[in-house]
Amino acid sequence: MNSHIRLILGDQLTHSLSSLRDAVPASDIILMAEVRTEATYVKHHKKKIALIFSAMRHFAEELRARGFTVRYTRYDDPENAGSLLSELRRMITPDTKTVTVTEAAEFRLLAEMHNWQDTLGIPVRILSDDRFLATPQEFATWANGRKQLRMEFFYREMRRKLGILMEGNDPVGGQWNFDAENRKPPKSGLLIPAPFETAPDALTRDVLELVESSFPDHFGDLLPFHFATTRTDALAVLDHFITLRLPHFGTYQDAMIADDPWMFHSHISFYLNIGLLTPLECIRAAERAYSDNEAPLNAVEGFIRQILGWREFVRGLYWFRMPDYANDNALGATRALPPMFWTGQTQMNCLSQSFGQTIEWAYAHHIQRLMVIGNFALLAGLSPDEVNEWFLIVYADAFEWVELPNVTGMILFADGGVLASKPYAASGAYINRMSNYCSGCRYKVSVKNGPEACPFNYLYWNFLDQHQSNLGKNPRLGMPYRNLARMSDEKLDAVRIDSARFLKQLDAGDLV
């Protein structure tokens, strides 16, 4: 008998999921499937596919241990119908009464889901995903009528709503945001704990073999593979961070050190975004560390803001602005993605480090993504469509709901200022201040023009020059535009000539 089917997606690996909450082991069938449409709509990083498939298989085993009947379709199953809808159709029998699913996190898939009932001819219940701490409707209510949507004010509302780091109606420590204490450059002799690693078990090794054989032309290195693929191990990653890394996370969260991809970051976004961890439990763990005097307030508040602030804010903004948000290109950027984004081959050491770690680990921390790779994409005028697709492909924690607002709004300013109050553009001086990358670079960060100069130096001024009509009146860019106005004609000509030379080489696929 197959009366009720519960479909679980690859980013819904949470036992308290809304579609599992009222499931009856004796009569309900759990359907999980590794399908071609989800694995290949972009050529996801090999590690990303391996993480999701292995976590799905482990989750299926946990459901079976709880007494559920699980119908699990592996990617290489000869009967695999290739899409979630087709797998549902294959599973449905004359006895099937309903299909229940928690709403998809991405617009394209949720739009498909809303057609499933008509296509399948049986009731399809689509339940809200209440693992998030703000519903799209709550965000829309907050956003409607506001001239600007700023994360800081949304974050404060979320703190009040949930009572996070609050003393009555006031924030703990007397202020909402301790970011001013969280921008220290790396210092010599900094001791950084090794990241938590798990050795692949037999089930994961089977997945690794599958990914190697089925996705040979996908981006990135498959091995070594150390991701957690069970809730138990994901909780161990969280505990490792809270105990060993959180005390210094705030101070050095913007810092970058050559050949160290992990720094003091938490590395839990992979597990949050597929459901092995839930946001509130991560927030509460950090809050307890502060209460127990195990981590300072600047670190705890900064970490909580990334989850309760940015993560919830970009998810709300995604649903508030879609589907039009995917087409935003306020700065008219059209340049094709250069080969170095795929190969990692460049003479710019900051980019080489960030690309190399992305290829190897399907990970780079937020400053590498924003202020190195993203900054370059902004200054070079790379196409938002191509940059969005690249970010979606290469990072194991990337799903469109979180990737698109960060890239379109935060990185590329392609939404014209809906998310960010100014473009996050910077010269080489910022990267030199926040990293040790520049000392190992073929270019000289202290040189402003010519073949030896750091390309960020002249590309920054060229960007401001090119977009003065759009950005010149932005109050947060008043100082750089005053400096641009004082620039001599000779200096500005050198900026334009150097930028044109570099971008011509970039377009030709030269090693730059």
Its domain, for residue 429, covers 340-508
| Overall number of domains in the chain | 3
Distance CA 9, CA 52 (A): 10
Tokens of 329: 């290109």
> Which CATH number belongs to the domain containing residue 202 in this structure?
1.25.40.80
CATH value at residue 44: 3.40.50.620
Do 92 and 212 lie in one domain? The reply is no
Residue 392: burial class (beta carbons within 10 Å; 0-12, 13-18, 19+): buried
- For the beta sheet containing 98-102, the strands, ordered from the edge strand earlier in sequence to the opposite edge, are 69-73, 28-33, 4-7, 98-102, 124-127
On whether both 102 and 224 belong to a single domain, the answer is no
> Domain check: are 190 and 306 in the same one?
yes
Residue 103 shares a structural domain with residue 221: no
For residues 120 and 186, state if they share a domain. Answer: no
Structure token digits, residue 141 = 């209510």
Q: What is the DSSP letter of 104?
A: P
Choose one of 63, 92, 127: the last residue of a domain.
127
Q: Do 362 and 475 share a domain, yes or no?
A: yes
212 and 195: one domain?
yes
Q: Burial level of 452, CB count in 10 A (0-12/13-18/19+)?
A: exposed
pTM over 0.85: yes
163 shares its domain with 286: yes
Residues with Cβ within 8 Å of 284's Cβ and at least 6 positions away in sequence, in order, are none
Interatomic CA distance for residues 458 and 20, integer angstroms = 55
Residues 446 and 375 in one domain: yes
What does each of the 512 residues of the chain score in pLDDT, given as a tens digit? 568 999 999 999 999 999 999 999 988 999 999 999 999 999 999 999 999 999 999 999 999 999 999 999 999 999 999 999 999 999 999 999 999 999 999 999 999 999 999 999 999 999 999 999 999 999 999 999 888 899 999 999 999 999 999 999 999 999 999 988 888 898 888 889 999 999 999 999 999 999 999 999 999 999 999 999 999 999 999 999 999 999 999 899 999 999 999 999 999 999 999 999 999 999 999 999 999 999 999 999 999 999 999 999 999 999 999 999 999 999 999 999 999 999 999 999 999 999 999 999 999 999 999 999 999 999 999 999 999 999 999 999 999 999 999 999 999 999 999 999 999 999 999 999 999 999 999 999 999 999 999 999 999 999 999 999 999 999 999 999 999 999 999 999 999 999 999 999 999 999 99
pLDDT of residue 190: 86
